[in-house]
């Protein structure tokens, strides 16, 4: 009776805490939408990123036109033709201001330059690059341009002089096919490629689950400061009942968060143009990792609640520690883009354990047994926090009295 | 109702002796005032009596029950109205009462009936479905009071229950307490509003620095502390020779009690002699009071008037 009255009260209070609801439900949903849509192409290896570049052809020769045609076939880049009359300074300005990442200028004597390329002659084309261009993009663009120029040079000047044209151009100049890599999944399960939504939903879900620290600790502090806890103690409510009555409603809140965020990923993100979140192979695994993450988050929140002495401290310490754990845990920056040493560092964050557990079930085809290590670590962390919170709580109650 | 024998409490970190050898008897069906400066040990004493703070030594019996052996039963006898507004402002008054009634074990119709009874005692009936955070100061105090009554306590602790409210609400709460006393409830009342304490308390204890300075029935205490006190104020100062002459006239040493105020212990006949002397000297009397001191004077005298913090 006492327990359920406390749980019901907690849910009523939380239900009327507009700011708490915004933090717990709206914030992660918005993050998932933004990140899933904004990072859609960056995460999806099947959907090639297309970088526009300016192409100004000042050559009236056939080779100049051929170069333009060849460059239009390059995967990952899209040529934006520029009239030959446009001044080079204007092209430089556009690139310098990062309106385009690259500009490729084909000079009027392109054919002659290409013929002598490699010798004393000037470069056959001029490439301008934005200072903001990523090194990987620069390398890819240079390889693509070099490959095209070499092909034209061999085709038009080298092979004819060696009498090799009878072999056929395809055999001499073009690769038979592009080399394609293969994604490897656990147990050989055939899976689609990881998408932005499959990274965003677990990441922001874990982050949101840990954000129960804000409403929970604030409410707890108010109860401590306003004498509600003392009053409840005088009504024969034990500290253990008080603690457990906090765990139960926030566990429910975390599970509602999980259902809503998964639904956002599965149904809302695709409606807005993003990729859909694939349902997990193991719903039991999802529940297991979700429950373990929830208990870790609640334990952490209760520990913060008992450590702090004011609502301002609770908001500051809870918020800052959550953001640090999130940054460390691969929520804000995906773990797979981090350098190796950082990937090792992030494993200290419980958010990382939760995230890996969710990625197991959403991306790697993990069965429920495969999330047990992460779930176990989270449960241990949660139990440790809860034990610390209980000890501190009893001391605080005595201090209040 | 409550028997306290040689009670002591020592806080360990930081080390602080909060109660020293406190012995008290609080009779059943009375309103007992517990007074003292901030930090004197009142809250510690109430917390020990309520079973939420362990004592360091001594013995406490509540309604014949030993606190060491039956703390849960003792708690069930106690209602508590803390100084803080210990309820949830985003819940309605009814939801708050329903929550606490549920915690106390009331179910179904009995719970609803008890909520209605407490709302009636505190006249909250027409405000029950408003959120408590929207209440005026007086309504909040009444809700705080109502929650303390939910378990039909035999013993009610009230800690500054009238802080920050208008005279009407204060009057209502004090009258309600007197009605509860008439119904047989024992009430322990702490407040810094000493005129309230004087108005409603039958018995009194003043605690300072962890010790009981004085205890007993209110009437006796006031009488003992100055039943023959003559206090008066003039419109002009009186020099030392004037003070000596006046003392001779009244056959008792007259003490200074303010810039132009004076006090002396004397029989009622001394009033006539005082007035005659003042007329003879051409001095004008501003006010005069004879008899028991009020509680504030007794309190300040017993606890020293200087600031404590």
- Rounded to the nearest 10 degrees, the angle between the axes of helix B167-182 and helix B108-121 is 120
Peptide bond before residue A119 is cis, with ω within 30 degrees of 0: no
Nearest CA in chain A to B98: A5
Q: How far apart are CA A129 and CA A108, in angstroms?
A: 21
Please state, in angstroms and as integers, the Cα–Cα distance from residue A117 to each residue in A104, A113, A126, following that order: 17, 6, 13
What is the least distance, in Å, from the CA of A388 to any CA of chain B? 19
What is the least distance, in Å, from the CA of B105 to any CA of chain A? 6
Nearest CA in chain B to A15: B90
What is the least distance, in Å, from the CA of A2 to any CA of chain B? 4
Going residue by residue through chain A, which has 401 residues, state the pLDDT in tens, using 9 for 90 and above: 789 999 999 999 999 988 888 889 999 999 898 888 877 766 655 555 578 899 999 988 888 888 888 888 777 788 899 998 888 899 999 999 888 989 999 999 888 888 888 776 678 899 999 888 888 888 988 888 888 888 888 888 877 777 665 555 555 555 545 566 665 655 555 544 567 888 889 999 999 999 999 889 888 888 888 889 889 988 989 888 998 999 999 999 999 999 999 999 999 998 988 888 888 888 999 999 999 999 999 999 999 998 888 888 888 898 899 999 888 888 887 777 777 778 788 888 899 999 989 988 888 777 888 889 999 999 999 999 999 999 888 877 665 44
Name the residue among B122, B87, B113 with its Cα closest to residue A12.
Answer: B87
The answer to whether A236 contacts B80, with C-beta atoms less than 8 Å apart, is: no
Q: Which residues 6+ apart lie within 8 Å of B149 measured at CB?
A: B79, B118, B121, B122, B156, B180
Nearest CA in chain A to B80: A231
User: Residue B142 corresponds to which tokens in the numbers above?
Assistant: 């009444």
Helix (H) or strand (E) holding A319: helix A311-328
Name the residue among B101, B96, B81 with its Cα closest to residue B148.
Answer: B81
Its CATH architecture, for the domain B2-223, is 3-Layer(aba) Sandwich (3.40)
Q: Residue A6: its chain B contacts at CB < 8 A?
A: 99, 103
A213 CB near a chain B CB, below 8 Å?
A: no
Q: Which residues 6+ apart lie within 8 Å of B287 measured at CB?
A: B232, B233
Q: Residue A9: its chain B contacts at CB < 8 A?
A: 88, 91, 95, 99
What is the least distance, in Å, from the CA of B167 to any CA of chain A? 24
Looking at residue B251, its pLDDT comes to 87
Please state, in angstroms and as integers, the Cα–Cα distance from residue B36 to each residue in B43, B190, B204, B300, following that order: 10, 9, 11, 10
Looking at residue A41, its pLDDT comes to 67
What is the least distance, in Å, from the CA of B229 to any CA of chain A? 41
Global ipTM? 0.78
Nearest CA in chain A to B71: A236
The answer to whether B83 contacts A397, with C-beta atoms less than 8 Å apart, is: no
Burial of A338 (0-12, 13-18, 19+ CB in 10 A): middle
A227 CB near a chain B CB, below 8 Å?
A: yes
Token pair 């006090």: residue: B263
Domains of chain A in start order, with CATH, are: 2-39+199-400 (no CATH), 51-186 (3.40.190.10)
- Most B CBs within 10 A among A3, A5, A244, hence the mutation to make, goes to A5
- Note the pTM of the prediction, 2 decimals: 0.73
A18 CB near a chain B CB, below 8 Å?
A: no
- Each domain of chain B, given as residue ranges in start order, spans 2-223, 228-291
Count Cβ–Cβ pairs < 8 Å, chain A vs chain B. 78
Pick the CATH number of B228-291 from 3.30.390.10, 3.30.360.10, 3.30.70.100, 3.40.50.980: 3.30.70.100
The answer to whether B104 contacts A235, with C-beta atoms less than 8 Å apart, is: yes
């Amino acid at each position: 009776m006492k327990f359920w009255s406390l749980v019901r009260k907690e849910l009523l209070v939380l239900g009327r805490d507009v700011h708490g609801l915004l933090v717990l439900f709206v914030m992660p949903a918005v993050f998932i939408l933004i990140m899933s849509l904004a990072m859609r192409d960056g995460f999806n290896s099947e959907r090639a990123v297309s970088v526009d570049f300016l192409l100004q052809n000042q050559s009236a020769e056939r080779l100049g036109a051929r170069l333009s045609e060849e460059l239009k076939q390059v995967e990952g880049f899209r040529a934006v033709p520029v009239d030959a009359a446009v001044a080079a300074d204007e092209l430089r300005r556009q690139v310098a201001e990062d309106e385009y990442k690259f500009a490729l200028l084909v000079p009027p004597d392109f054919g002659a330059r290409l013929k002598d390329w490699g010798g004393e002659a000037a470069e056959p084309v001029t490439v301008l690059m934005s200072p903001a261009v990523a090194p990987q993009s620069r390398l890819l663009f240079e390889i693509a341009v070099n490959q095209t120029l070499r092909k034209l040079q061999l085709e038009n000047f080298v092979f004819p002089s060696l009498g090799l044209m009878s072999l056929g151009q395809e055999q001499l100049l073009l690769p038979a096919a592009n080399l394609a890599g293969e994604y490897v999944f656990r147990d050989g399960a055939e899976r689609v490629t990881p998408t932005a939504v499959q990274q965003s939903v677990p990441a922001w879900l874990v982050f949101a689950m840990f954000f129960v620290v804000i409403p929970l600790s604030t409410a707890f502090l108010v109860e401590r400061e306003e004498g509600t806890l003392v009053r409840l103690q005088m009504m024969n409510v034990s500290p253990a009942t008080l603690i457990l009555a906090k765990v139960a409603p926030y566990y429910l809140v975390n599970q509602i968060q999980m259902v809503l965020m998964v639904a956002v990923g599965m149904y809302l993100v695709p409606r807005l143009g993003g990729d859909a979140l694939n349902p997990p192979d193991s719903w039991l695994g999802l529940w297991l990792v979700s429950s373990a993450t929830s208990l870790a988050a609640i334990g952490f929140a209760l520990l913060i609640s008992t450590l702090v002495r004011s609502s301002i401290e609770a908001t500051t310490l809870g918020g800052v520690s959550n953001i640090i754990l999130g940054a460390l845990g691969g929520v804000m920056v995906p773990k797979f883009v981090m350098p190796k040493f950082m990937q090792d560092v992030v494993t200290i964050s419980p958010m990382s354990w939760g995230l890996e557990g969710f990625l197991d079930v959403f991306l790697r085809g993990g069965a429920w047994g495969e999330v047990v290590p992460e779930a176990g670590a989270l449960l241990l962390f949660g139990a440790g926090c809860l034990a610390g919170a209980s000890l501190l709580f009893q001391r605080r109650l005595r201090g209040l009295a | 109702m409550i028997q306290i024998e040689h009670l002591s409490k020592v806080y360990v970190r930081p080390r602080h002796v909060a109660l020293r050898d406190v012995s008290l008897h609080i009779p059943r069906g009375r309103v007992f005032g517990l007074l003292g400066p901030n930090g004197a040990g009142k809250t510690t004493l109430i917390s020990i009596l309520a079973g939420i703070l362990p004592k360091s030594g001594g013995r406490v019996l509540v309604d014949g029950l030993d606190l060491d052996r039956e703390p849960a039963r003792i708690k069930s006898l106690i209602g508590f109205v803390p100084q803080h507004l210990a309820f949830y402002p985003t819940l309605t008054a009814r939801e708050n009462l329903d929550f606490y009634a549920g915690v106390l074990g009331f179910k179904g119709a009995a719970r609803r009936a008890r909520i209605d009874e407490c709302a009636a005692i505190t006249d909250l009936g027409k405000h029950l479905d408003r959120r408590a955070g929207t209440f005026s100061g007086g309504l909040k105090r009444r809700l705080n009071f109502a929650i303390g009554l939910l378990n039909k306590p035999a013993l009610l602790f009230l800690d500054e229950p009238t802080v920050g409210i208008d005279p009407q609400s204060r009057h209502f709460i004090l009258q309600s307490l007197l009605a509860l006393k008439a119904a047989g409830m024992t009430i322990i009342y702490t407040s810094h509003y000493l005129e309230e304490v004087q108005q409603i308390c039958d018995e009194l204890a003043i605690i300072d620095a962890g010790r009981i300075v004085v205890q007993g029935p209110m009437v006796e205490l006031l009488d003992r502390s100055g039943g023959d006190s003559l206090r008066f104020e003039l419109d002009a100062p009186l020099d030392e020779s004037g003070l000596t002459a006046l003392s001779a006239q009244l056959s008792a040493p007259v003490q200074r009690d303010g810039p132009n105020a004076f006090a002396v212990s004397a029989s009622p006949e001394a009033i006539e002699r005082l007035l005659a002397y003042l007329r003879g000297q051409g001095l004008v009397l501003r006010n005069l009071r004879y008899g028991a001191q009020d509680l504030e004077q007794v309190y300040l005298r017993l606890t020293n008037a200087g600031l404590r913090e």
